[in-house]
Structure 1
Amino acid sequence: MGYFTWKEAGLTQDCESLESMAYRFEESAKLMRRMAKEGFFLKKINNQQLITHKDSNIFQKWGFINEEPPFRQLALIPDKGITCAND
């Protein structure tokens, strides 16, 4: 199951007005609600917030980068029954 770490570091840092800050928060909230409807969920591990999905295809469809260690990522690659010519 892929995941990425949620770190909010300046969501509104580049905003120049309260109105633009409010708009940024509203748009972010819409995105989070849409992700929740698609089956994404928040998982907390060691005081980190990880956003994850049980279906790796949906995770990839959204264009997220999987932060799992490489050995775990390889475990997510389905075995298509491909064998070597020497087998």
Structure 2
Amino acid sequence: MSYFTWKEAGLTSDCASLEAMASRFEEAASLMRRMAQEGFRLEQNMKKQRITHPDPGVFEAWGFISEEPAFRQLTLIPDLKV
């Protein structure tokens, strides 16, 4: 029997059929397109792919947690002196 090894495992590891895999990829593609429309971008940084957004509020509204170093995150907190 002919075969090949599917190396991607994170997105499709729990899929039981090719149809399920295709559906999962379509869902992921739809989400990525919506993110692109909202201003998210993909950046290459030291051979790593990072998803970025210039507005921290939009980033947080989508439920993402910033991986920026703590000192950088602190500069994003507004000074609420009254």
> TM-score normalised to the size of structure 1?
0.81
The structure-2 alpha-carbon separation of the partners of 1:16 and 1:35, relative to structure 1 and needing over 3 Å to count, comes to same
Where structure 1 has 5 or more consecutive residues not aligned to the other structure, the ranges are 1-7
Look up the equivalent residue of 1:51 and give its one-letter code.
Answer: I
> TM-score normalised to the size of structure 2?
0.86
Where structure 2 has 5 or more consecutive residues not aligned to the other structure, the ranges are 1-7
The structure-2 alpha-carbon separation of the partners of 1:11 and 1:42, relative to structure 1 and needing over 3 Å to count, comes to same
Q: CA deviation at 1:79?
A: 2.2
Of all paired residues, the percent bearing the same amino acid is 64
**1:13 aligned partner:** 13
What are the residue-to-residue correspondences of 1:1-87 with 2, within 5 Å? 9-80=9-80, 82=81
Number of residue pairs aligned between Structure 1 and Structure 2: 75
The structure-2 alpha-carbon separation of the partners of 1:9 and 1:51, relative to structure 1 and needing over 3 Å to count, comes to farther
Q: CA deviation at 1:9?
A: 4.9
Shift >6 Å, 4+ stretches: none
Look up the equivalent residue of 2:16 and give its one-letter code.
Answer: E
Q: How far apart, CA to CA, are the structure 2 residues paired with 1:53 and 1:9?
A: 26
Question: Whose relative contact order is higher, 1 or 2, with alpha carbons under 8 Å and at least 6 apart?
Answer: 1
